[in-house]
């Protein structure tokens, strides 16, 4: 009896990813724009990394943070997209239990990294505009490395317990994930034990990261706007605004779909599943595609290097 129970309540050897529930027939065609966006994300972010690495004049805090963001974007898109395209084009829906947890770990860790890097870049813009004379002393190389390391450690430490909690959950052979990738709450919903700890921990991580990060970004930009408005020269104002507009676009593209996805998972019972899944996909796909384009075009120093290439 004990062996039967342990078998019944063990985790399944694999899960099946549905893709986009209710749009199984359209998935084949949806994969084409998704693939194009992935190609742009990979090409754009690798180009940014190579340009920043090869040019010593770009080894400044702003560009180092941008390189970290590009690396994070490559991690997010590559953790999700190849398997998603396999589901959409090849019908390769099967993903092993351990592989699913690994995908979940990398997707959520890189998402937290992205949020942290946006905070670091907001801090960089604040120091550059509000404390220009002390810029190099405040954001020295050790400080930039420490900030990047802190963001990385925060992501790993916060996501790891969620994976360990799932590893210990019984699944009663429930193995169909109504999602395009292994997302934390989508996997938690398959468990047949008490999932309150998993749900509360997921909520805690989301609120403890998103809340402070959005607050810090908002405070930084409020202070930046106050400093910009005090500038006497119209040209100086426009230049300061232009350096921040690209960052604000990226922030909106990352947080709005992310918050929508987070809230609909917990409270949006009336929202059709395909809308929720599409938004969750865009949340992880749009920023990595958008970031290299926005920063490459709007940052003159980078754009000059791209033109030279």
Residues 201-253 pLDDT 10s:
988 998 899 889 999 998 988 888 888 877 777 777 777 777 677 777 778 88
CB 237 within 8 A of CB 282: no
Query: What are the tokens at 98?
Result: 């351990």
In this predicted structure, the answer to whether residue 71 has a pLDDT above a threshold of 60 is yes
Max Cα–Cα distance, the chain, nearest Å:
81
Distance CA 217, CA 207 (A): 15
Distance CA 243, CA 64 (A): 16
Question: Which CATH fold topology does 15-304 show?
Answer: Rhopdopsin 7-helix transmembrane proteins (1.20.1070)
Instruction: Count Cβ atoms within 10 A of the Cβ of residue 88 and give its class: 0-12 exposed, 13-18 middle, 19 or more buried.
Output: buried
What average pLDDT does range 157-186 have in this prediction?
87
pLDDT tens digits along 245-298 = 777 777 888 888 777 777 776 666 677 788 888 888 888 888 899 888 887 766
In DSSP notation, 147-181 reads HHHHHHHHHHHHHHHHHHHHHTS--TT--EESSSS
3-state secondary structure of 107: helix
pLDDT at 59: 85
CB 245 within 8 A of CB 298: yes
pLDDT tens digits along 33-51 = 999 999 999 999 998 898 8
Distance CA 298, CA 259 (A): 26
The domain ranges of the chain are 15-304
CB 123 within 8 A of CB 75: no
Q: What is the pTM of this model?
A: 0.88
pLDDT at 263: 73
């Amino acid at each position: 009896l004990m062996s039967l129970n342990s078998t019944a309540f063990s985790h399944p050897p694999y899960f099946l990813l549905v893709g986009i529930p209710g749009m199984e027939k359209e998935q084949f065609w949806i994969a084409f724009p998704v693939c194009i966006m992935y190609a742009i994300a990979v090409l754009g972010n690798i180009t940014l990394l190579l340009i920043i690495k090869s040019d010593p004049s770009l080894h400044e805090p702003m560009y180092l943070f941008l390189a970290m963001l590009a690396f994070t974007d490559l991690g997010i898109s590559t953790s999700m997209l190849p398997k998603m395209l396999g589901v959409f084009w090849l019908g390769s829906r099967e993903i092993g239990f351990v592989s699913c947890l690994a995908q979940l770990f990398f997707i959520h860790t890189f998402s937290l990294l992205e949020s942290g890097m946006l905070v670091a870049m907001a801090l960089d813009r604040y120091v550059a505009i509000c404390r220009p004379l002390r810029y190099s002393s405040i954001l020295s190389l050790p400080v930039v490395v420490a900030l990047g390391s802190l963001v990385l450690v925060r992501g790993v430490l916060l996501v790891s317990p969620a994976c360990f909690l799932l590893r210990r959950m019984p699944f009663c052979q429930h193995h169909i994930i109504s999602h395009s990738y292994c997302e934390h709450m989508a996997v938690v919903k398959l468990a047949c034990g008490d999932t309150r700890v998993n749900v509360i921990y997921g909520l805690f991580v989301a609120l403890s990261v998103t809340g402070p990060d959005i607050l810090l970004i908002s405070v930084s930009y409020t202070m930046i706007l106050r400093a910009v408005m005090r500038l006497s020269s119209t040209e100086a104002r426009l230049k300061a605004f232009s350096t921040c507009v690209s960052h604000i676009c990226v922030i909106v593209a990352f947080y709005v779909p992310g918050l929508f996805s987070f809230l609909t998972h917990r409270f949006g019972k009336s929202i059709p599943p395909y809308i929720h899944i599409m938004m969750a996909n865009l949340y992880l796909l749009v920023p990595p595609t958008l970031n290299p384009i926005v920063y490459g075009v709007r940052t003159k120093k980078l754009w000059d290097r791209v033109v030279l290439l």
